[in-house]
Structure 1
């Protein structure tokens, strides 16, 4: 009898693209202290006074532009992954979102209610570590287990940003687009404030202290988002055989006025168009499931910006979603998790 269960966790989505549902979702998301890492009162003021009055209407239109018959693309794609993983493993596996539904508490309580389950393997669906992704998921799971006094132990699957299996799956899923021919490939990663990078620096003296900090060996790399996304990109281009002058790394989805990782995806694609690039591909390895940030922000908004700036075509390479290589890999990791 298997005494272990697994929980796949992705970011989340509003229940619908209505303004009220988007407002509810944004409030839950942005009031997380790992997302806006400021004292509660300041965070409450920022969200209530500067975000919620106008942002829900704008975001609702964006969600509506990519909403499907199956609902939220992120939730739908995550469920497809879940269904295929269940077919390839014998252990109980559930899916939850850090924000919105299906919620983490219901999923964890459901798994813990099975008498034979003694251990929960938490699998955050993020290749890279960040306080706004991995850390908040782990803290939420720990709080749920503690608050509900659940008799299960918790283990967390480690990040996999440069694991050979992940890189192979990423390259294989992208290959049909790479083989079409293109002028330039842009790696567009979700941005984070620079202070998140320095906060997560376990040494307190490495991250962002020099221009080549991500290339210098350091224990800080275990929790450095910036280092890890550069490693993913380096491994990808080596595996795919992409010349150094044919790709760029950029960051999207900035929120607020604080200094975030640069350059921005928007500035990079506009500059590429001005330099004469006509066909650009964009891949978003920080996301394993297509969502608002990939389908709308890149697939619609960035495409329009690129064409307006003089380019001809910008194609979004889909995320891993339920690609066979990816579902097989996740299933194998649930059975035999990676070592930290």
Structure 2
């Protein structure tokens, strides 16, 4: 009796260095920043900037930061939670499915994960980028890499991609539930801090140029207007979480972190918002970071350490980070539904 072919699932996270060492961080940053979708400038300019300036200047400092969040037993927090998510999803889906985890940059690579899957003669493959909001630099890059690898296969099974899930009900509920673990009413203000993008990348998702989106976006923009706009999806996620928590508009602010370089990025910058709130006498902040489905250097260090220290230096008293989705069973249920949906 012929054994029925399994369905494949490829979860793809951004990536992490293999170790908190300068050489490993240098390798990771180089691969990450040399991606033409991440740093969308001409190749030779990108090479000069990345390999000649950014990576040499940032590698040692970044390695030192990674050491502060690295666990001697479990390693990188992002890798730890990503592996848990993969294992829990495999258990939920059962034997009819085969789940692999890949990192867009470094290990386990998309090439290696797909090589395993190629030999299994899978019936289909569903690719789930672990980024709730679509951006060319994240989800788009994953899709491009998967297609680049699979176009060399002699047989190509049915392949589908999850584009985004910025308003997924279960995901929103987990973020809201994690927020409720803290006494929300005791905080003066709430931040929804998302990973930033260069402003120029927003316009590129509308080749027609008909939408004429403003440079800084619009908090009332609906996802339906441009389903590939990262900015509108960030606001959509925020509105959904705020609704669950019954937050009034004046209680929270959307902002964007991780700016790199001097070109304009999506505003307001998280750092600027911290300054404004401190000047207004705000003392206690609760921070959500809904661009990430697992705690990582951006949540564990950039927000909980860097921004917290900055806020306290300005006169603030406390910055509390709401934990990410991590290994929450309801988040795994959400992933399962994304896999099973059309």
- TM above 0.5, one fold? yes
**Residue of 88, 96, 100 corresponding to 1:84:** 88
SS of residue matched to 2:247 = coil
Question: How far apart are 1:270 and its partner, in Å?
Answer: 2.5
Moved over 6 A (4+): none
Residue 242, structure 1, aligned to residue 253, structure 2: no
Shift of 1:42: 1.2
The alignment's TM-score, normalised by the length of structure 1, stands at 0.94
Q: Pick which of 219-228 and 236-245 moved more.
A: 219-228
RMSD over aligned CA atoms reads 1.8
Aligned mate of 2:313, from 308, 311, 320: 308
Distance (Å, rounded) in 2 between the aligned partners of 1:210 and 1:46: 25
1:19 paired with 2:25, answer no
CA distance in 2, matches of 1:108, 1:128: 24
Aligned equivalent of 1:287: 292
Alignment of 1:61 onto 2:67: no
Relative to structure 1, the CA distance from residue 218 to residue 16 in structure 2 (aligned partners, 3 Å threshold; closer, same or farther) is: closer
Asked if the contact 1:206/1:218 (under 8 Å) is kept, the reply is no
Between the aligned partners of 1:171 and 1:74, the Cα distance in structure 2 is: 21
Match of 2:329 among 301, 308, 324: 324
Matched, 1:96 2:99: no
Q: Indicate the SS of the match to 2:13.
A: strand
Which segment is superposed worse, 172-181 or 73-82? Answer: 172-181
Listed one character per residue, the Cα deviations across residues 164-187 of structure 1 (whole Å, up to 9, x for unaligned) are: 222122212222025473111100
Aligned to 2:213: 208
1:100-139 Cα shifts (integer Å, max 9, x gaps): 1111111111122113x12110000011110110100000
| 2:326 alignment partner, SS class | coil
Q: Does the Cα contact within 8 Å between 1:22 and 1:60 map onto a contact in 2?
A: yes
For residue 171 of structure 2, what is the aligned residue in structure 1?
Answer: 166
Over 3 Å counting, the alpha-carbon distance change for 1:202 and 1:215 in structure 2 is: farther
Q: Structure 1 residues 188, 213: CA separation in 2 closer, same or farther (over 3 Å shift)?
A: closer
> Which structure 2 residues correspond to residues 193-232 of structure 1 after superposition, within 5 A?
193-209=198-214, 215=220, 221-232=226-237
Q: Is the 8 A contact 2:275 2:311 kept in 1?
A: yes
Give, in angstroms, the shift of residue 83 of structure 1: 1.5
* Inter-partner Cα distance in structure 2 for 1:5 and 1:211: 39
Q: Distance in 1 between matches of 2:338 and 2:217?
A: 32
- Which residue of structure 2 aligns with residue 111 of structure 1? 117
Query: Is the counterpart of residue 299 in structure 1 residue 304 in structure 2?
Result: yes
Work out which of the residue numbers 49, 52, 56 in structure 1 matches 2:52.
49
What is the distance in 2 between the residues matched to 1:236 and 1:133?
22
Counterpart-to-counterpart distance in 2, 1:196 and 1:136: 13
Deviation at 1:71, TM superposition (A): 1.0
Instruction: State the distance in 2 between where 1:217 and 1:179 align.
Output: 27
TM (normalized to structure 2)?
0.93
CA contact (8 A) 1:10 1:97 kept: yes
Residues 218 and 107 of structure 1: CA distance in aligned 2, closer, same or farther (over 3 Å): closer
Deviation at 1:14, TM superposition (A): 0.7
Residues 197 and 207 in structure 1, CA contact (< 8 A), matched pair in contact too: no
What is the distance in 2 between the residues matched to 1:247 and 1:216?
Answer: 17
Matched, 1:278 2:286: no
Distance 1:150 1:140, change over 3 A: farther
Counterpart CA distance in 2 for 1:277 and 1:225 is: 29
Classify the secondary structure of the residue corresponding to 1:64: helix
Structure 1, 183-192 or 45-54: larger mean CA deviation: 45-54
Q: Could you tell me which runs of 5 or more consecutive residues in structure 1 were left unpaired when the two chains were aligned.
A: none
CA 1:240–1:216: 2 relative to 1, 3 Å:
closer
Q: 1:25 deviation in Å?
A: 0.5
